[in-house]
A and B are shown apart, each in its own frame.
Chain A
């Protein structure tokens, strides 16, 4: 098992954000985490990335406990995150954003190889590498956020709402690229509100509600589960 999150609790002051999350990810999988706003999806990713410190519980990555590591050390273990809202560095160039993604990598050959791969996944980024990232369109910014995460040469990629605010045609394109990234050997954890698209891509899914995991199953079963359909897939039909 690549990632094992066990009985994870997170508090923000007096507010309890996660109450005992259990979540497992196998090497090579795409795992979707679904749920409404405020269910704790982003908090779960941020706990894995080390941005928030769990109150209790364990996160084990490839046999190593990582829940006490600061965020900048977690990246060094090749766990990269493309955060919610993209969070690109708008006043830096596209190239500088990508270079920052490789901040923990010391091997110039590897960096160059990753950069070429990212430019083949997202040719638009290559065209715009000298441009300030803040001048990119929403879709291009999302590509940059994913590309920047890939520059860390991750074995585990955490994607937080990659479809947020994008037109359907761009969503399809981004999800196609996520599949390509996965097929290249990167394990993916995908947080999404767009449950239908996410479950079509993922192998397995977890459904979160109010800081708890209420369901976990294969993506195919979740797509047919009447409760999931009613709550997250906008009713029958479509």
Chain B
């Protein structure tokens, strides 16, 4: 039982990271029907930018650990968001009226450009986040030992997800994003600037992905330039699991995939962890291709 709860919290923490990345896939898909294959690399860029800023600004020394990390997270999200907009401008916008396959090929190309650029800038060997900045103590909750960092990660991802959900559901701009995802021309007739909406989506998605990259760096300590590949694929699985194009679906899918994976690692075999995740993908594609929350009157984004 104790192992079960330990795995559950672990799975939810990892799942929160998957969910944040999955949101980027699903939002872009929702509005452009495009799988942004470079999204995993934006996540990696978030991890590396976090490392650079952490080392060069020494924020945690001057304003304290919590405030320092908060400022760091905002900076990383902003920067990765801007890179997301530039990615759209360079790789996708010129192909807006081309067949969809062209944009997919362009996405694969952008992914290669990103990962190679990271390698050239930071080198091919793994990099290590500075240690000792973060709380390392372990909380004792009803006899369970839970590392504080695990809770911080889970809380942060939940806060970001709830924030996004409220933004999408309750604000004027959020409603405009949903409308543009349903029918772009009808949205234009409402006076919505669809180009601006697409730009916003290419800011928010990568920003969340960048935050996830930063969290992985802080939590696991080690990052490398190919990490976006596996995390990206897992998050893509999570997006499909929840129903691609569906924002709550990406959240549920991410958390669920994290838990399935961590339970599988604990009770089946740790070596099979990744295989289990992709087995889930195959199973979903066979049994319910629309995903768990897909087709609920086909709510897109």
List chain A positions with a Cβ less than 8 A from chain B.
49-51, 70-73, 75-76, 80-81, 83, 87-92, 96, 99-101, 103-104, 132, 134-135, 148-149, 152
Residue in chain A with minimal CB distance to B173: A103
In the complex, the answer to whether A75 meets B297 with C-beta atoms within 8 Å is no
Determine which of A80, A92, A103 lies in contact with B182 in the assembled complex, contact meaning CB atoms within 8 Å: A92
Q: Which residues of B contact A81 (CB under 8 A)?
A: 189
User: What residues of chain A lie closer than 8 Å to B189, measured between beta carbons?
Assistant: 49, 51, 71, 75, 80-81, 83, 87, 149
**Looking at the complex, which one of A89, A132, A135 makes contact with B186 (CB distance below 8 Å)?**
A89
Q: What are 7 A-B interface contacts by the 8 Å CB criterion?
A: A72-B188, A72-B193, A83-B189, A92-B175, A103-B190, A132-B297, A152-B190
Closest 9 CB pairs of A and B: A104-B191, A75-B191, A71-B188, A87-B186, A103-B191, A91-B299, A100-B190, A72-B193, A103-B190
Residues of A within 8 A of B179 (CB): 89, 92, 100
Contacts of B299 in A (CB 8 A): 91
Contact of A92 among B178, B185, B194 (CB under 8 A): B178
Q: Is residue B159 contacting chain A, with contact meaning CB distance below 8 A?
A: no
User: Which residues of the other chain, B, contact A148 by a CB distance below 8 angstroms?
Assistant: 190
Size class of the B contact interface (CB-based, 8 Å): 20 to 34
Nearest-CB residue, chain B, relative to A132: B297
Q: A71-B189, A103-B172 are in contact. Are A89 and B194 (CB under 8 A)?
A: no
**Contacts A96-B175, A99-B175 given; does A134 touch B192 at CB 8 Å:** no
Task: Say yes or no for B183: interface residue by CB 8 A criterion.
Answer: yes
B binding-site residues for A, Cβ under 8 Å: 172, 175-176, 178-179, 182-183, 185-194, 297-300
Identity of the chain B residue whose Cβ is nearest the Cβ of A75 in the assembled complex: B191
- Whether B182 lies near A91 (C-beta < 8 A) is yes
Quick one: closest B residue to A91, CB to CB? B299
**Residues from chain B with Cβ under 8 Å of A135 in the complex:** 297
Question: Which one, B175, B176, B187, B297, contacts A90 given CB within 8 A?
Answer: B297
* Residues of A contacting B191 in the complex (Cβ-Cβ under 8 angstroms): 72-73, 75-76, 103-104, 152
18 extra A-B contacts, CB within 8 A, seeds A80-B189, A152-B191: A51-B188, A71-B185, A72-B192, A72-B193, A72-B194, A75-B190, A76-B191, A87-B189, A89-B178, A89-B179, A89-B182, A89-B183, A89-B186, A91-B297, A91-B299, A99-B172, A134-B297, A148-B190
Question: What residues of chain B lie closer than 8 Å to A50, measured between beta carbons?
Answer: 188
Partner of A83, one of B176, B185, B192, B194: B185
Asked if A90 and B188 make an inter-chain contact with CB atoms under 8 angstroms apart, the answer reads: no
Give the residue name and chain of the A residue nearest to B194 (CB).
A72
